[in-house]
Structure 1
Amino acid sequence: MVKINFISLCLISIIFFSGCIEEDDLSNEQKYHKLASEIMCPVCDAQTIEGSNSQVSIDMKLKLKTLVNQEMSSQEIREYFIDRYGPDIIASPSSTGFNLVAWIMPVIIFSLLLSISLYTIKSMKNSNMQEKEYTETLNEYLKYVEKEIAELEQK
């Protein structure tokens, strides 16, 4: 049992800390593919340059390859494309300013829905408890009425 817990803890730790790998520790090829999947094609609808075959995206991929080979950091490369094409060129919005709403709202909505669900479940349980109390009280009253009817019939 201890071995299973230890192995589970190790696996969870590996999964949890795998996101802590520095982007700059990636090989140039990995860095290129990661950035190509983050940069949007300016002439395509909802497509990154990695998945697009338009001439603009081909040129952007060549420029990206050049910048990666020049050992620029991922952030510097993102800033280069943002300066040239605007902030909408990055597939995921930055987590600053008004764009922070795009990151926070899903958490708020999920929390709100979870709270409403839990409140509804709790209310349903309480209503079942009240029904039981009501039924018990009603049964006592019916027994009393039946007893009274039986006494009246005997007279």
Structure 2
Amino acid sequence: MRTMMFKKFFSLMLITIIYSLVSANEPKVIYPFEDSSHEERFLSLLNELRCPKCQGSNLAGSNAPIANDLKREVYRLVKSGKTEEEVKTYLIDRYGNFIVYDPPFRPDTYALWLGPLFIFLITLSIILVLLLTRFSNSKGNQ
């Protein structure tokens, strides 16, 4: 019984170690730049742009195939001299506002920007009405 548990434990540990060694040697894609400002712009864009497949992950933190394609596209655009705004506009035209964490304030995003404010105002007005009703009821009872 003990030897069987030891074998299972040993096998599990061996699999874990082998997996960690294999995954540590995954090929890393390197994007070379001659100019450090281009590299900074590239890294900034990877952190600001969202992966279309991964919910809540930016391009820098995603290894999804679409994220890798977008990294190559951003690299190509930055290398060709495009500004951050030009790159963002290019990607928004192709993937919509979902690609950026900070979508523009336009008619199609009014609900996104103003929705939380309206919910806050409605909640505040309900609380005020309840407090005023309770206050007037307590004065009437005295």
TM-score, with length taken from structure 2: 0.59
Partner residue of 1:36?
46
Give the aligned CA root-mean-square deviation in angstroms. 2.6
Could you report, residue by residue, the CA deviation over 1:61-109 in whole angstroms, capped at 9, with x for unpaired residues?
Answer: 2332443455533221111112333443333433212211111111011
**CA distance in 1 between partners of 2:96 and 2:125 (Å):** 39
Q: 1:114 aligned to 2:137? A: no
Partner residue of 2:90?
80
The residue correspondences of 1:56-135 to structure 2 (distance < 5 A) are 56-132=66-142
Where 1:57 maps in the other structure, the secondary structure is: helix
**Where in structure 2 are there 5+ consecutive unaligned residues?**
1-36
Would the alpha carbon gap of residues 82 and 62 (structure 1) be closer, same or farther in structure 2, given more than 3 Å must change? same
Partner residue of 2:60?
50
Larger Rg: 1
Equivalences, count: 106
TM-score, with length taken from structure 1: 0.55
Say which structure is richer in helix. Answer: 1
Would the alpha carbon gap of residues 55 and 98 (structure 1) be closer, same or farther in structure 2, given more than 3 Å must change? closer
**Where in structure 1 are there 5+ consecutive unaligned residues?**
1-26, 133-155
Alpha carbons 1:94, 1:100 under 8 Å: kept: no
Give the Å deviation of 1:123: 1.5
